[in-house]
């Protein structure tokens, strides 16, 4: 198939391009002029077209003749800095331009994939989230312009699905890490929480800060098993880049994917009391075990049953495998 990827030089986009080329597809990418990240595609037989999502003409030229569009391009939290205008123009107007171009190319288009985010969900609640989060019934409470514009992008996609019968599929990606990133993920480290607690003045928070400082005095890279007020280990559901790519590839050619909103994440969530000792043993670092009083805990997971059923989605990277792969990649340089 002829497949367009916007955001092709991003971490997910570049890996998706490699996977699609290996599967025998013809891949085109829309890239910013002078995008230095194109080196991620070095040696890969893809067609790169320079242009901007906010320029309707550029988008129309990129979409022309394509059978599948993977719209990953966006202004996102880790990039930038972006103004509110940037977020709106790139994420909302850019998505509008993509959808309009897809309609103009509808005679050939078989699928339009839109990359959204778990940032839309209300995930951080005082007692944690008791039930697995489902895309079709969990409260949406986007905080900040990135999440808000992603929600607007989703609504645009649903509108074009209803009114133009555009074959749209929406993916909500969990927080995604690749390479060796998991080894240095800040929320495994006491220093991250010490910074958050440094300005808190309640007696409970000051006691937590003292514990954190003691651990950091022993080693500035001390790890932390984070627990809530009741002693329950924090729980989080993230994703490896390979599993996100696998979810997109799994949806190709599946009519049952059209019209769906699917969560993509690891095969299971992880808890700090499992991940941190394993990481500590592999990195030869100490860890401490602390109840984080006066804080909203991280405690949630996603229900992937819809993705598994409709897409045959079979993610492979639990937290231990993510750590193992990251250690190997770091060792290999």
Q: Are residues 23 and 117 in the same domain?
A: yes
Average pLDDT over residues 213-224: 96
Q: How many domains does the chain have?
A: 2
Position 333 scores a pLDDT of 73
Q: Are residues 104 and 23 in the same domain?
A: yes
Claim: this prediction has a pTM higher than 0.75? yes
Q: Are residues 169 and 186 in the same domain?
A: no
Residue 68 belongs to a domain: yes
Residue 54 belongs to a domain: yes
Please state, in angstroms and rounded to a whole number, the distance separating the CA atoms of residues 286 and 283.
9
Range of the domain at 200: 181-235+270-291
Please state, in angstroms and rounded to a whole number, the distance separating the CA atoms of residues 112 and 160.
10
Q: Are residues 112 and 185 in the same domain?
A: no
Q: Are residues 168 and 221 in the same domain?
A: no
Q: Are residues 16 and 101 in the same domain?
A: yes
Apex CA 244: angle with CA 312 and CA 309, to 5°? 20
Position 196 scores a pLDDT of 95
Q: How far is CA 16 from CA 134, 178, 250, in A?
A: 25, 13, 12
Position 33 scores a pLDDT of 87
Q: Which residue's structure tokens are 């007020």? A: 229
Is residue 309 packed enough to be buried (19+ CB in 10 Å), middle (13-18) or exposed (0-12)? exposed
Instruction: Report the percent of the chain where pLDDT is more than 90.
Output: 92
Q: Which residue's structure tokens are 């991250």? A: 192
Residue 322 belongs to a domain: no
pLDDT, tens digit (0-9, with 9 covering 90-100), for 78-129: 676 899 999 999 999 999 999 999 999 999 999 999 999 999 999 999 999 9
Q: Among 121, 150, 173, which residue terminates a domain? A: 173
Q: Are residues 167 and 190 in the same domain?
A: no
Q: Which residue's structure tokens are 């800095």? A: 81
CATH of the domain at 112: 3.40.50.720
CA 143 to chain centre: 16
Q: Are residues 7 and 89 in the same domain?
A: yes
pLDDT, tens digit (0-9, with 9 covering 90-100), for 272-281: 999 999 999 9
Residue 249 belongs to a domain: no
For the chain, give the mean pLDDT. 96
Task: Give the count of beta carbons closer than 10 Å to the beta carbon of residue 203.
Answer: 10
pLDDT at 257 over 80: yes
pLDDT, tens digit (0-9, with 9 covering 90-100), for 139-187: 899 989 999 999 999 999 999 999 999 999 999 999 999 999 999 999 9
Give the chain as a 3 state SS string: CEEEEECCCCHHHHHHHHHHHHCCCEEEEEECCCCHHHHHHCCCCCEEEECCCCCHHHHHHHHCCCCEEEECCCCCCCCCCCCHHHHHHHHHHHHHHHHHHHHHCCCCCCEEEEEEEHHHECCCCCCCCCCCECCCCCCECCCHHHHHHHHHHHHHHHHHHHHHCCCEEEEEECCEECCCHHHHCHHHEHHHHHHHHCCCCCHHHHHHHHHHHHHHHHCCCCEEEEECCCCCECEECCEEHHHHHHHHHHHCCCHHHCCCEEEECCCCCEEHHHHHHHHHHHHCCCEEEEECCCCCCCECCECCHHHHHHHCCCCCCCHHHHHHHHHHHHHHC
Are 312 and 220 spatial neighbours (Cβ–Cβ below 8 Å)?
Answer: no
Position 160 scores a pLDDT of 98
Identify the CA nearest to 268 among candidates 231, 305, 296.
305
């Amino acid at each position: 198939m002829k497949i367009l990827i916007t955001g092709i030089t991003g971490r997910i986009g570049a890996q998706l391009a490699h996977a699609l080329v290996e599967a025998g597809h013809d891949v085109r990418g829309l890239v910013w002029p002078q995008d230095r990240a194109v080196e991620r595609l070095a040696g890969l037989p893809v067609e790169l077209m320079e242009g901007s999502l906010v320029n309707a003409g550029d988008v129309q030229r990129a979409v022309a003749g394509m059978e599948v569009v993977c719209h990953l391009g966006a202004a996102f939290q880790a990039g930038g800095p972006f103004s509110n205008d940037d977020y709106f123009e790139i994420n909302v107007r850019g998505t509008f331009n993509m959808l309009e171009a897809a309609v103009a190319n509808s005679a050939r288009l078989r699928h339009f994939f839109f990359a959204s985010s778990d940032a839309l969900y209300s995930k951080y609640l005082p007692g944690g989230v008791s039930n697995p989060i489902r895309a079709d019934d969990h409260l949406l409470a986007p905080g900040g312009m990135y999440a808000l514009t992603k929600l607007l992008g989703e609504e645009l996609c649903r509108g074009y699905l209803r009114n133009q019968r555009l074959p749209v599929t929406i993916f909500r990606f969990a927080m995604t890490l690749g390479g060796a990133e998991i080894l240095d993920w800040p929320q495994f480290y006491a220093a991250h929480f010490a910074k958050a607690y440094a300005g808190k003045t309640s007696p409970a928070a000051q006691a937590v800060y003292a514990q954190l400082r003691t651990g950091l005095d022993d080693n500035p890279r001390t790890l932390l098993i984070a627990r809530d007020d009741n002693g329950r280990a924090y729980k989080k559901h993230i994703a490896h880049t390979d599993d996100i790519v696998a979810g997109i590839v799994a949806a190709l050619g599946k009519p049952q994917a059209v019209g769906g909103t699917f969560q993509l994440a690891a095969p299971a969530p992880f808890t700090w009391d499992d991940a941190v000792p394993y990481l500590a043993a592999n990195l030869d670092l100490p860890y401490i075990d602390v109840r984080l009083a006066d804080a909203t805990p991280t405690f949630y997971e996603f229900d992937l049953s819809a993705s598994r059923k409709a897409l045959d989605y079979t993610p492979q990277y639990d937290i231990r495998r993510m750590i193992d792969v990251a250690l190997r990649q770091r060792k290999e340089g």
